Chain A
Amino acid sequence: MIKIQTPLDQNLINELQAGDLVFISGTLYTARDAAHKRMIDDLNTTGSLPFDITNQILYYVGPSPTPPGQTFGSAGPTTAGRMDAYTPTLLDLGLKMIIAKGYRSDAVKQSLLKNQAVYLVAIGGAGAMLGKCVKNSEVVAYEDLGPEAIYKLEVEDFPAIVCWDTQGNDAYIQ
């Protein structure tokens, strides 16, 4: 069983192989459609992002509301392709790992290779179980976007599968 603890270590990232099942503990930042659009708008207007993305993990998710007595709502991955247009810019800024589900464009795959970053997939439809891996959460930006806000999550043993590794191997059958 491969365990990953943040902050990410480039040597470990380089060792990951497409198809590996890993368990991540530490910090993830969430962002999906609207947050991506705003991040890029912010970059264009102010030159910076609302958080330091260097060496971080971005998780594409729009969680369900947190019920009383729970630490977080249901939180499975959303489809990655909609974020393709924004992704190379964020990778060039030092983003090291993305967790989502579904196919990526060739431009994203090339940018991942160039930046020695990796794309992992979480299990679509396992939202309750993935939500239970979240031990703590806080909104760090764009609170008005509700489920699309950027959250900083502390997770424990969050399962994901390496989909596109730093050697350019793809776990998806295409």
Chain B
Amino acid sequence: MKIKTISAERIKEAVKEGCLAIQYKYSPKMQETMTKYMDQEKSVLAKNILKILLENSDTASENRLPMCQDTGMVVVRMNIGQNVQIVGGSLREAVNQGVREAYDVGYLRKSIVGDPVFDRKNTKDNTPAILYTEIVDGDEIEIEVAAKGFGSENMSALKMCKPSEGLAGVRQFVLDTVRNAGPNACPPLIVGVGVGGTMDYAAVLAKKALFREIGDRHPDERYANLEKELLEEINAMGIGPQGLGGSTTALDVFIEDFPTHIASMPVVVNINCHMARHTKVVLS
């Protein structure tokens, strides 16, 4: 078996480029999805809001202004091939340096406070990022970068459901969380759901779900159907864009699952806004 080397510098550059690639316009898929929902909207106000949001993406890219002033906390997910050795620096520092440089040159808002309780002093470079690493087979590094806004993050929720609550319990908790989020999370939303695992791992799964592309369905048909049904039920609530009424409350629902304990059924709902800022790059 041959060990492959990948430099920390390349990782830094990939994170930096990722941070800058997601801030200034909708992804082509999001552009298409928002347009589709705008065309379907019956409410005049809702239609107008979706139109303004689509125009905002154009204004952002033309002027190189971020689509939203909350340019987020950076979340990086890395799948590191077990035959890879990272050389020339620390992985964590490479990630943070990529964030630091992107938020500086990109005129992005620095929104991170160093201590969450006592000082709440801004770190002034948007670091640290949240970093998840997984060791996988292979000799590549897959890097996913997201910028998570906190209007939506604040409306996310966890419930340690009883196994007896079953499918109905999962469904109810997702719908309740979206209803409770209302306008605060800037609908239309992307809804990430993590079921199973432990309390913390369900949250990791819910976040992972938000890295999926619109329209990507769960490989298990039962979950895939649940995703589609939840999307319909959420859009039947009438919350609408910005909570001002309409049929466009969510653009997609993604569920990630994991085995869990006989005594529990953890459910976490992680909410994202319509910008759904995330991207992926593979270093090989």
Contacts and interface: CB of A to CB of B under 8 A. Distances in A.
Interface of A: 19, 21, 61-67, 70, 73-76, 78-79, 81, 101-103, 121, 123-129, 131-132, 146-147, 159, 161, 171-174
Contact of A125 (B68, B110, B182): B68
Given A102-B243, A103-B182, A147-B109, 16 more contacts: A62-B69, A74-B68, A78-B70, A78-B151, A79-B154, A103-B184, A123-B49, A123-B52, A124-B183, A125-B67, A125-B186, A126-B68, A146-B124, A147-B110, A172-B182, A172-B183
Contacts of B184: 79, 81, 101-103
A103 B68 contact: no
Given A19-B45, A124-B273, A125-B275, A64 B69 contact: yes
Contacts, number: 141
Contacts of B65: 64, 67, 70, 73-74, 127-128, 131-132
Contacts of B133: none
A26 B243 CA distance: 27
B-side interface size class: 35 or more
Nearest to B274: A125
Contact of B56 (A79, A126, A173): A126
A125 B53 contact: yes
Contact of A127 (B49, B56, B107): B56
B107 A125 contact: no
A128 B182 contact: no
B82 to A, nearest CB: 39
A74 B186 contact: no
Interface in B59-79: 59-60, 63-71
B127 interface: no
B48 interface: yes
